[in-house]
């Protein structure tokens, strides 16, 4: 009971701070890019900076992390539940696509994790949030981690073309399973496709070996529907749903594009909570 009361107090402080800060810091809020606001909000998980709450609409904040209750109160309760001093946040990549900002972050959030977050903005304030998190793991067979690699955004003029390429790849290869078309999207040779999935080596050969090993173990990976493709320049994020080993999951796949080919891949696969465990009714997707 004491912990519940503390969580309510923490959430109340967070909401109050958001409401009052929006009046006193309106000029500062509007001068920052949406990308900067999203990064500031994530960093506040570690720093406790109350100003970051001003970047969230206190009256309209829809949460799609199914383990977190809706609104700022839900966010505040989760922060209060963190062991004191345990939270660490290192945003490795941040991108903006219209009203959406998506990030790729190294967390200590109830344990070491890698994660993607997506924020939707209206009138300069965050009104919606999605994420996918996974435990951090050791480097993959090619020595790459879940988070290392290039971060610089390039080829802004190719954003739409790169998003279309990834959308086609997801539908053709991942959903329909037409692997005969792989060459349209990824060049052969290990150096032409750098892999950050913890269990897969570089190149199409590494992907093939991983799929073969899964098949031998009777493990299936099914992409049933793509929900959204977001991008900025040479980085594109695809969000899909499906199943892994027969369990419902959400797939977040980040691709780096170069010369109209996919050359690098990061991903997070997260199980979808059973509905009786949801703390909000917004669903995992809902884009």
Q: Are 133 and 109 in contact (CB under 8 A)?
A: yes
- pLDDT value of position 28: 55
pTM of the entire structure?
A: 0.90
Side-chain-facing half-sphere of 220: CA atoms under 13 Å? 10
pLDDT category of residue 30 using cuts at 50, 70 and 90: low
- pLDDT value of position 17: 45
Question: What is the C-alpha separation between 89 and 132, in angstroms, rounded?
Answer: 15
Name every residue whose Cβ is closer than 8 Å to that of residue 193 and which is 6 or more positions away in sequence. 186, 187, 202, 203, 204, 206, 207, 262, 263, 264, 265
- pLDDT value of position 286: 95
Question: What is the C-alpha separation between 253 and 250, in angstroms, rounded?
Answer: 10
pLDDT tens per residue across span 252-286: 999 999 999 999 999 999 999 999 999 999 999 99
- pLDDT value of position 124: 97
Q: Is the dihedral of CA 125, 127, 130, 135 positive or negative?
A: positive
Name every residue whose Cβ is closer than 8 Å to that of residue 43 and which is 6 or more positions away in sequence. 49, 52, 89, 91
**Torsion angle, alpha carbons of 136, 94, 130, 114, to 10:** 0
- pLDDT value of position 241: 98
- pLDDT value of position 211: 87
- Compute φ and ψ for 155, nearest 5 degrees: 55, 50
Q: Would you say residue 35 has pLDDT above 70? A: yes
Average pLDDT in the chain = 91
Q: How far is CA 238 from CA 94, 191, 278, in A?
A: 15, 23, 24
Reference 35, options 149, 153, 147, 187; nearest CA is: 153
Q: Are 223 and 170 in contact (CB under 8 A)?
A: yes
Q: Is 14 exposed, middle or buried (0-12, 13-18, 19+ CB in 10 A)?
A: buried
pLDDT tens per residue across span 53-84: 999 999 999 999 999 999 999 999 999 999 99
Q: What is the mean pLDDT of residues 205-219?
A: 91
Q: What is the mean pLDDT of residues 166-192?
A: 96
Please name each of the domains of the chain with its CATH number.
Answer: 2-136 (3.10.450.50), 156-271 (3.10.450.50)
pLDDT tens per residue across span 213-266: 998 999 999 999 999 999 999 999 999 999 999 999 999 999 999 999 999 999
Tell me the β-bridge partners of 235: 232, 256
Q: Are 100 and 287 in contact (CB under 8 A)?
A: no
Residue predicted with more confidence, 16 or 87: 87
Q: Is the dihedral of CA 124, 127, 128, 131 positive or negative?
A: positive
């Amino acid at each position: 009971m004491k912990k519940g009361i503390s969580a309510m107090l923490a959430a109340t402080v967070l909401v109050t701070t958001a409401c009052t800060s929006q009046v006193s810091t309106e000029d500062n809020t509007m001068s920052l890019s949406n990308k900067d606001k999203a990064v500031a909000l994530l960093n506040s998980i570690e720093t406790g900076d109350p100003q970051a709450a001003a970047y969230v609409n206190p009256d309209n904040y829809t949460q799609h992390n199914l383990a977190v209750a809706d609104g700022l109160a839900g966010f505040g309760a989760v922060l209060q539940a963190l062991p004191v001093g345990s939270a660490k946040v290192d945003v490795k990549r941040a991108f903006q696509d219209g009203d959406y900002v998506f990030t790729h972050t190294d967390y200590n959030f109830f344990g070491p994790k890698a994660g993607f977050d997506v924020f939707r903005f209206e009138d300069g304030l965050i009104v919606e949030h999605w994420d996918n998190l996974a435990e951090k793991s050791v480097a993959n067979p090619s020595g790459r981690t879940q988070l290392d690699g290039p971060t610089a955004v390039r080829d802004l003029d190719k954003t739409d073309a790169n998003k279309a390429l990834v959308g086609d790849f997801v539908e053709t290869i991942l959903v329909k399973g037409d692997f005969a078309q792989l060459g349209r999207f990824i060049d052969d040779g290990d150096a032409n496709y750098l892999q950050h999935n913890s269990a897969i080596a570089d190149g199409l050969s590494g992907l093939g070996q991983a799929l073969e090993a899964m098949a031998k173990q009777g493990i299936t990976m099914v992409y049933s529907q793509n929900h959204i493709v977001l991008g900025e320049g040479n980085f594109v994020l695809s969000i899909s749903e499906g199943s892994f080993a027969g369990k419902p999951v959400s797939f977040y796949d980040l691709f780096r594009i170069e010369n109209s080919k996919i050359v690098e891949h990061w991903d997070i696969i997260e199980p979808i909570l059973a509905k009786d465990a949801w703390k909000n009714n917004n669903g995992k997707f809902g884009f």
